[in-house]
Structure 1
Amino acid sequence: MGKEDRKRLILKVLADGGFALPPVVIFRNAKLRGATFERRSVNNYLTELTEEGLVQKIDAEALDEGEIKEVDLSDEGYFIATDDGIDVAYDRD
């Protein structure tokens, strides 16, 4: 499985669930889907996917109020797939 396939797997975990998830949960669900990469790789892929606009990191506390508030990659938070990320995950144009 090449790097782009691994990144797509991360996207599918986020897109299929439709949930805001912390990296460790994304990693565990990727493992359930056959991922062979390690936990630290998930962080690297999430950073790249965020920079590509396919994933967004959001404030977990804002979620308590039903809000989606984007945060910087260096801040604590959860990840969600963007609309573009969902399209890429499912090969939609």
Structure 2
Amino acid sequence: MPAEDRRVLVLEFLAEHDMPLPPLAIYSGLVRYHRITFSYRTVQNILSELTENGDIYRVDTSALRDGEITPIDDDESSRRAYYHITEQGKERVT
């Protein structure tokens, strides 16, 4: 599967579920529902690329415990995060 098709598939998955998800849940969902054959590391790389492009953003996991979807600032890049699709990302797959 070409790299761009992989990126679109990840975006479509995030758009379909429209909730913050951790990388492993995204990977597992893609394996289960789309039978992907590319690796978890590839999904992590795609998530980084999509974040840099503004198609998704990283969400603060501690805020999620309070039901809030709060983007993480760039200076907090070392913290674990969930990912959520942006409006720009949704437009790419609709």
Normalized against structure 2, the TM-score is what?
A: 0.89
Q: Runs ≥4 in structure 1, deviation > 6 angstroms?
A: none
When the two chains are superposed, the root-mean-square deviation of aligned CA atoms in Å is 1.1
Aligned equivalent of 1:84: 88
Note if contact 1:22-1:79 (Cα within 8 Å) is conserved in structure 2: yes
Matched with 1:35 is: 36
SS of 2:80's equivalent in the other structure is coil
One-letter code aligned to 1:55: I
- CA distance in structure 2 between the partners assigned to 1:67 and 1:87 by the alignment: 23
5+ long unaligned stretches in structure 1: none
C-alpha deviations, 1:40-92, integer Å up to 9, x for none?
001100000000000110011101222222124421110000011111122xx
Q: What code does the residue aligned with 2:3 have?
A: K
Give the percent of matched residue pairs that are identical in Structure 1 and Structure 2.
Answer: 37
Structure 2 regions of 5+ residues with no counterpart? none
